[in-house]
Every structure is written in structure tokens, then in C-alpha cells.
Amino acid sequence: MSLAIAALQVGYARQVVVHDVGAKLAAGTVTALIGPNGSGKSTLLKAVAGLLPHRGTVTLDDRVMGRDRGGAIAYLPQDTGVRAALTVLETVLLGRVRTLGLRLDPALVDDAARTLEGLGLASLADRAVGSLSGGQRQMVLLAQALFRAPRVLLLDEPTAALDLRHQLQVLELVRAQTSARATVTVVALHDLGLAARHADRLMCLSAGRIVAEGAASSVLTEERLRAVYGVEADIVAAREGALGVIPLRAVATGPRPG
Amino acid sequence: MSIALEHAMLAHRVRSQRRARRLLGCLGALVAVALVDLMTGPAMLTVEQVLDALLHGEGTADPMVGIIVHTIRLPMLAMAVIVGASLGLGGAVMQTILGNPLASPYTLGFSAAAGFGAATVILFGLSLPFAPWLTVPLAAFGATAAAAALVYGFARLRGATAEILVLAGIATLFLFQSLQSLLQYLASPEVLQQIVFWLFGSLIKASWSSVAVSGAILAVSLLVLLVHAWPLTALAFGDERARSLGIDVERLRVSMLLVVSLLTAGAVAFVGTIGFVGLVAPHLARILIGDDQRHLLPMSALCGATLMTAAAVVAKVLSPGSVVPIGIVTAVVGVPFLFVLIVRGRSRGE
Ligand SMILES: Nc1ncnc2c1ncn2[C@@H]1O[C@H](COP(=O)(O)OP(=O)(O)O)[C@@H](O)[C@H]1O
Ligand SMILES: [Mg+2]
């Protein structure tokens, strides 16, 4: 079981933003999507989720998907604005909006509550989402995405507003669920150390093209960081085989700012 | 389950019960105001007289009371309840699909269109041969459909985003308001008075047949809306997120828009343009019960019906004998009420 992307090309009104992207992503693995601001990470994820028109095909289990992805693909957007007076529990329940009835199935409510508990959010279940901090809201929306139990999980910078402990917790949970449910997971991340530690593979996007993919040690090289990010950085081996990326200074030959 | 989770689930149950209690409470308030409405009029009745008339039909101790209650006051009350509920419901849906607290059936020009349709047939003295009483309502209905088609056309061309719909709606509003003014300018003084009276709205035109038509529209719309309660709730997360949850956002918006135009037409066709209830009732309901549409929709209908009935009572008390146009009373009573809501701030998430 796998997700295959072939010759994907996505653009907005005038300019093409993602060029000819192809990839094959195996079930049960987490792929980290890295790349500078404006390199097209969000655009690529939205296109795969069926939220943007695109050229090329997205194939799940040898079945080419139509415009409506049929609820198989969950996409967690980058921004976390919510303007509704809803509780956290209701927010999570909405993950399965297509199956909810006027009378809530108690088993479903239980399921949603357990998802919250898995993320350590049990005590927030009855709070209004609007009253949460940015980080808490990000966790709740992640819970919503996990509650869908999708075949393909696309997370757009899910740790952007989180503290160290929660970054760790979220990415560990995502990885555990990915292998337990044989999900195809792609996470856009800015923190390269986190990407190296928590993803099975890295995919590096630069100006809308994939310039490298594979294991962290092969993707994260000093030359590549210089070419893609325009940064001179030290890459150091840490404990337990983790990699640390220490940016030293910006170099002149950087990419255009995005 | 952890203790924290059990606490949260308990809080969730308490919240559900509180919402149910508030719905019941609002229903109780509606019944009470309705009773007062039946008692109020040129001939003031006691509670006993009203209850007696309700229980025994027209064969009450005092036949006069029976006639007053059954042929005069009950149809007007039923119409007030239906119109208030329709406008409250329409406003709630409008605010949800446009993500805009200022939205109401007024905002997209539906009411203005209805007024234009009515003014047209009044001005030209048109009348349907088989059912004269249906002429004005049908004209109002037709014009509302035209307004909905206009807004829908915009949406088809440019995508049914909230911004496009609000813009299209405001354009429609101005168009039909200007046309209305033109008709008023052309009308003779007597006809002008007729048009203005219709525009202000009055329950005096209520009859059992109009109650049946508007009531049927309300019932069907409420059902359709409740079926879409969860997708409507999901819209609160913004288009992109709702779409990523598997909802066809544009289609949902357009179909709900059609339901609102139907509701508006059903509400104003018989009694004239009554505004404001459609703006205030959803706000009140949201403060009482939150944004979960399964509860917000019925609550908005209940609040609308209660406000409308209360306005009817006030109108009768203010000018016993003559009929103050209820559209004016709803605005005069509603504006301070809205101010209070704004000043108190929105306590959200109940
Ligand atoms: N809605 C949009 N309309 C037009 N251009 C856009 C839109 N969203 C993003 N872009 C452009 O597409 C490029 C890629 O953006 P994005 O996919 O958001 O990058 P990333 O997520 O990697 O930071 C940027 O140059 C950005 O300006
Ligand atoms: Mg992005």
C-alpha cells in the first residue's frame, strides 16, 4: 500500500509554484517535507489533498484519485484560526463530519475523548477552542486530524507553535500512529533536527522542485544547506544517532527570499 | 480513562443538559409571551378566558371570546411565531455561511426584493383572477427568487466565497431598494400609502391559509437545515479546513442560500418586510447556546419567534385599536437590545 505522486504541477493565477514533482510514499512511514519559506511545501500538500487544482496524478493503492479525495486524505492546514464558539470535544468530533448524525453516537464521543487523551489534552475537552493558546489550538486541530484515522495524513508545520516537550510528544505520537495504522504521513517541518529525528525519510523542496530525498544523513549535508537555504551550517552527530543542525551565518548565494 | 478525561466528559454532559434546559426555557418563554399576546388587544381577556377558548374551541361560555381568540388573534399569533422563527433561522444560517455577524436575510437583498415584487403589483393594481389574496405574496416570492438567482449567478461566475456572496448581496440590495424607491416615486398618494404599509410589515394580513403556506416552508427548511447541521458547524473553521474535512463548501453555501431565500420569501410574502429579528435572534441564540448548529438552529428559531411575538404585544399595547406596523416595533425594540448584547460582549462557547 502506498501513495504515488506523479508529474505533479501546481500553480496560482499566473505563476507555477510546484514543478513536476514525483514521489512514492510507503504506508507506515513518516516523510518530512523540508525547504525554505515559499519553496512550495504548503502548495504541494494542498494539491495532494485535493484542495488545489493541479496537473499530474495522485495514486493511492494503484487507484488514481479524482478531484474529491473521498475523505481518504486528511490535511492539517498551517494556520489555526477558528472563529466558532465550539468546545474542544466538538472540534475533534468534526474530524468525522461526514459520518456525524443529529444524535451523537456515544461510542464516537468516547473515541474522540480518547484521541484527546492520547495527546494529553483531556483536561481541555470542555474548553472553548477560541479561548486556547495558539499551541493548544494546534494540538486540538491535530487531534481532529488524527481522529479521522485517514489513510493519508498531511501535516503542515504542526509543531510551529509548540514548546519543546509538545513538539516531541506530537511527532512521537504521529509516528506511532503512522506505523500502527499503516498511514502514509507527510509532515512539513522547518526544524531540521526534528525532521531528522522523527521522520523515516526527508524530502527537500527548493523553488518548487524536489532537490533531494532519502535518509536524513544523505539529505542534510553542509553543501545542500548552503545551496537550498543559503546558510553556512554545522551538522553534528548527537546522542542516539540524532543530528543537530547549527546555523552559523547566511551566505551571499542564498535563494530568493520567499 | 484518566480522571481529567472523566471530569471533561462530565462537563460535556452538563453542558449538553444545560443546552437542553435553555432550549426548553426559551420554548417556555415563547408559550408565555404567546398567552399574553392572546390576552392583549382592544378587548383585554383574562388568562382563564383565553385558556377556556383554547380548550373548548369556539363553543366557549362567552362566544365573543371564542371568536376573538380563534378567528382574530390565533392566526396573527401563529403568523408572528412562524415569521419570527423563519427570520431567526434564516439569519443564523446566513451568519454561518457568510462568517459575518452582520449578515441577515436583509443583507443579501432578499427582503428588499420581496418588497419590490409586492410594490410592483400594488402599483399596477394587478390581481390574480383565481386567488386575489395570493397576488402580492406570489410577486414577493418571485422577486426573492430573482434576487437569489442574481446572487447565485455571481457565485457561479466568481466562486461562492463569503466575500463574493456579500458583495453580490449588497449589490442586489441596492438594486432592489432603488427599484422600490422608483416605484414609490411613481405611485399616487393612495397607492403609495398602500405600498408603504406593506413595506413596514403588519400581521393584520395573516390568515390560516397564509399560516399554512409559511408554516410548511418553515418546517421543510428546518428539516433540511438540521440535516446539514454538522457541515454548517464545520464552516466555522474556514473554507480550507472545512474542505479538507471533506465538505463541498461552495455547494453547501449555495444550497443553504437557496433555503434562506425560500425562508425569507415565506416570512415576508404575507406580512411585509420585517427586519431585524433576523439579525438579533441568532446573536441572542449564540450567546445562550454556542455555535453547535444542532442547537443553534432551533434556538435561533425559538428566539426569533419569541422576539416577534413580544413585538406584536408591544405594538398592540402602544396603540390599542389601531395597528402599529410591527416592522417598526421590532426595529425600535430590537436596536437597544442589540446594543445591550454588544456592550455586554459575547460570552461564547456556552
Ligand atoms: N493563494 C496564493 N496565491 C498566489 N500565490 C501563492 C498563494 N499561496 C502561496 N503562493 C505562492 O506560492 C509560493 C509557495 O508558497 P507555499 O506553498 O505557501 O510555500 P511554503 O509552504 O513552502 O512556505 C510562494 O511564492 C507564495 O508566494
Ligand atoms: Mg507553508
Chain A interface residues (partner B, CB cutoff 8 A): 46, 49, 51, 68-71, 74-77, 81-87, 89-91, 94-95, 97-98, 100, 102, 109, 113-114, 116-117, 122-131, 141, 148
Which among A81, A97, A126 is the nearest to B8, CB-wise? A126
Low-confidence ranges of chain B (pLDDT < 70): 1, 58-59, 321-324, 345-350
Q: Tell me: the pLDDT tens digits for B305-343?
A: 999 999 999 888 887 766 667 878 887 777 787 777 777
CATH number at residue B153: 1.10.3470.10
Distance CA B10, CA B20 (A): 15
How big is chain A, counted in residues?
Answer: 258
C-alpha closest to that of B297 among B259, B243, B258, B240: B259
Rounded (10°) CA dihedral A13, A56, A49, B232: 60
Whether residue B83 is contained in a domain is answered as yes
Distance from CA of B222 to the nearest CA of A (A): 13
Q: Tell me: the pLDDT tens digits for A36-69?
A: 999 999 999 999 999 999 999 999 988 898 888 8
Whether residue B300 is contained in a domain is answered as yes
Whether residue B11 is contained in a domain is answered as no
Domain count, chain B: 1
Whether residue B252 is contained in a domain is answered as yes
- Averaged pLDDT, A162-178: 92
Distance CA A125, CA A116 (A): 7
Distance CA B100, CA B339 (A): 17
**Mean pLDDT score of chain A:** 90
* pLDDT at residue A254 greater than cutoff 70: no
Domain containing B309 equals: 20-347
Whether residue B9 is contained in a domain is answered as no
Q: Which residues of A touch B18 (CB under 8 A)?
A: none
Higher pLDDT, residue A197 or B61: A197
Quote the pTM value: 0.86
Q: How far is the CA of A40 from the centre of ligand 1 (A)?
A: 6
Residues above pLDDT 70, as percent of chain B = 95
Q: Is A93 helix (H, G, I), strand (E, B) or coil?
A: helix
Q: What b-and-e string marks burial along B180-193, b requiring 16 or more CB atoms within 10 Å of the CB?
A: beebeeebeeebbe
Which protein residues have their CB within 5 A of the ion that is ligand 2?
A 41-42, 78
Phi, psi of A227 (to 5 degrees): -70, -40
Q: Which pLDDT score, from 0 to 100, does residue B1 have?
A: 64
Ligand 1 pocket, mutate which of A9, A10, A12, A46 (most atoms under 8 A from CB): A12
Whether residue B194 is contained in a domain is answered as yes
Q: Is A85–B290 a contact, with Cβ atoms under 8 angstroms apart?
A: yes
Q: Which pLDDT score, from 0 to 100, does residue B350 have?
A: 41
Q: Which pLDDT score, from 0 to 100, does residue B347 have?
A: 47
Separation in Å, CA A90 to CA A93, B1, B118, B349: 5, 19, 44, 11
Whether residue B35 is contained in a domain is answered as yes
* Residue A121 grid coordinates: 489534552
Whether residue B104 is contained in a domain is answered as yes
Which among A49, A123, A130 is the nearest to B244, CB-wise? A49
Distance CA B98, CA B96 (A): 6
* Residue B233 grid coordinates: 458547524
**Mean pLDDT score of chain B:** 87
Q: Does A41 contact ligand 1 (Cβ within 6 A)?
A: yes
Q: Does A42 contact ligand 1 (Cβ within 6 A)?
A: yes
Q: Which pLDDT score, from 0 to 100, does residue B291 have?
A: 86
